[in-house]
Structure 1
Amino acid sequence: MADKTISCKDCNTDFVFTESEQAFYKEKGFDNEPQRCPSCRKARKQQRNSGRSSNRDGGFNKKW
């Protein structure tokens, strides 16, 4: 298994998918390679998390 160069689907920059990352993905049972570079993955994760309510109980413990 050798390092792979992949083009990010968001910003089109090339990033390296290292042998150790590939081994980690295989160990976890992930079938697909990453499609985004590390910085775009981080930005996407932050964007998803910022859309959530600051109420950590999910609104299920409201008092009526």
Structure 2
Amino acid sequence: MADKTIVCKDCSKEFIFTEGEQAFYKEKGFENEPQRCPDCRKARKQQNNRGFRR
């Protein structure tokens, strides 16, 4: 496996999907590559958790 450059579907910036990340995804059984860059993934996770914390 080689590093892959992917374009974020939210902000359209390119990010690197490293060999290590690819191995982790494969080990966990994930079939799809990430569609969002790490910054957008973090922002989306915070947005989704906002309604559940007290």
TM-score above 0.5, yes or no: yes
Identical residues among aligned pairs (%)? 76
Q: State the distance in 1 between where 2:20 and 2:13 align.
A: 21
RMSD in angstroms over aligned alpha carbons?
A: 0.7
Q: Which has the larger Rg?
A: 1
Indicate the structure with greater helix content: 2
Q: What TM-score results when the alignment is normalised by the length of structure 1?
A: 0.81
**Matched residue of 1:35: which SS?**
coil
Q: What TM-score results when the alignment is normalised by the length of structure 2?
A: 0.96
* CA 1:18–1:52: 2 relative to 1, 3 Å: same
- Relative contact order, CA 8 A, sep 6+: which one is greater? 2
List gaps (5 residues or longer) in structure 1. 55-64
Off by >4 Å, runs of 4+ in structure 1: none
List gaps (5 residues or longer) in structure 2. none
Q: Which residue of 2 aligns with 1:27?
A: 27
